[in-house]
Amino acid sequence: MDFVVEFAGFWSRFFSKLSIDPQKIIPTSKATKLMILQSGIDIQPHGYSSFVIGVGLSSFVLSLLYFTILALYFQFTIYLAITLSTLMLFISTIIAMHYFDFVVNSRARDVELNLLDSLRHMLSELRSGIPLHDAIASIAMENYGVVSELFRESLVSVKEGEEISNAFLEISMKTPSITFQRFVATLSYALGSGVNIVSVLENFIREIELSRRNSISVYTNESAKYSILLIFLTGIIPGVMVLLLSQGSILAGFRIAIPLVAPFYLLLFPLAKYLIILRLVRISPGI
């Protein structure tokens, strides 16, 4: 994450010297600002726009250099190198915009992965008679990934005078995890109504366990479907293209030019693999 901050800072200073406002090129909506907040990356909306544009320009320059070398070596038109570099500019910009979305979903998955164990730990603490504040502090001191991080932030707010329910409501904005937000709502209800927190937490944990079982069934079906597609796109088709490159003139009387095939190997096939894996990560039950 430090690299993202430093990279964004570099391009922010670069655009500042040129008196260019990157937010006029890549504006940030309320949803984008929320995504930046939930990513956990210490960056402002101006830095986000600088990062996205910087990734696109860096990719364009490096791609232009690479494809120009290929054009000179294989003696094909330089216009193809410019076209492919421009394509890389747009695609890398889109990927940079989705990088933050990927980080947010990764953090949400980390919450889903560790929340059940952390709540069991919390329930064990409460059953043994430990006060709620100390139970929360115990979770914050443990290694439950983003969950411990969120609990630590809530403790800071509590020490500053916030009520526990209000502190958790504030930090729930920093994760898109629906399960964590439901936990915060359940905790706030229990504290506000005066009901037994232990019994409420027990019921909530059982709901999570049931939801996990259903998620496993869905993930099994989806992963089987996408695994077949992944094998087809990144295994069979590239293999056929290699065959056409090496034996095309012998088998069919023609040969495919390497510069025409290179973009598929360098860009489209890895991109297709990335999108499929991203889809599988999003539907993963987090176990």
pLDDT per residue as tens digits for the range 138-163: 998 988 888 998 899 888 888 888 88
Sorting pLDDT into bands at 50, 70 and 90, what band is 49? very high
Q: Are residues 150 and 225 in the same domain?
A: no
pLDDT per residue as tens digits for the range 69-108: 888 877 777 888 888 889 889 989 988 988 898 888 888 8
Q: Domain tally for the chain? A: 3
Q: Are residues 92 and 14 in the same domain?
A: yes
Q: Are residues 18 and 79 in the same domain?
A: yes
Q: What mean pLDDT is predicted for residues 156-175?
A: 85
* CA dist., res. 262 & res. 258, Å (int): 6
Alpha-carbon torsion angle 105, 111, 113, 117, nearest 10: 180
Last residue within a domain, chosen from 92, 108, 124: 108
Total count of residues recorded for the chain? 287
Q: Are residues 27 and 116 in the same domain?
A: no
Q: What is the CATH number of the domain that holds 173?
A: 1.20.81
Q: Are residues 131 and 188 in the same domain?
A: yes
Burial of 108 (0-12, 13-18, 19+ CB in 10 A): buried
Sorting pLDDT into bands at 50, 70 and 90, what band is 61? very high
pLDDT per residue as tens digits for the range 243-269: 666 665 555 555 555 666 666 666 677
Instruction: Quote the domain boundaries for residue 186.
Output: 110-212
Last residue within a domain, chosen from 178, 212, 246: 212
Q: One-letter amino acid identity for 266?
A: L
**Residue 281: pLDDT above 70?**
no
**Residue 182: pLDDT above 70?**
yes
Question: What phi, psi does 50 have (nearest 5°)?
Answer: -65, -40
- The whole-model pTM stands at 0.70
Q: Are residues 138 and 232 in the same domain?
A: no
Give the position of tokens 């295994």. 235
Q: Are residues 10 and 87 in the same domain?
A: yes
Q: Are residues 203 and 230 in the same domain?
A: no
Query: Hey, how many other C-beta atoms are within 10 angstroms of the C-beta on 76?
Result: 16
pLDDT per residue as tens digits for the range 187-225: 888 888 878 888 888 888 988 888 777 777 677 777 777
Q: Are residues 238 and 224 in the same domain?
A: yes
Last residue within a domain, chosen from 58, 81, 108: 108
**Residue 176: pLDDT above 90?**
no
CA count, 13 A, side-chain hemisphere, 69: 6
Contact 1, 40 (CB under 8 A): yes
Query: Hey, how many other C-beta atoms are within 10 angstroms of the C-beta on 195?
Result: 11
* CA dist., res. 212 & res. 206, Å (int): 10
**Residue 279: pLDDT above 90?**
no
Q: Are residues 86 and 177 in the same domain?
A: no
Written in H, E and C, the secondary structure of the chain is CHHHHHHHHHHHHHHHHCCCCHHHHCCCCHHHHHHHHHHCCCCCHHHHHHHHHHHHHHHHHHHHHHHHHHHHHHCCCHHHHHHHHHHHHHHHHHHHHHHHHHHHHHHHHHHHHHHHHHHHHHHHHHHCCCCHHHHHHHHHHCCCCHHHHHHHHHHHHHHCCCCHHHHHHHHHHHCCCHHHHHHHHHHHHHHHHCCCHHHHHHHHHHHHHHHHHHHHHHHHHHHHHHHHHHHHHHHHHHHHHHHHHHHHHHHCCCCCCHHHHHHHHHHHHHHHHHHHHHHHHHHCCCC
Q: Are residues 208 and 122 in the same domain?
A: yes
Q: One-letter amino acid identity for 146?
A: V
Q: Are residues 92 and 148 in the same domain?
A: no
Percent of the chain clearing pLDDT 90 (strictly above): 11
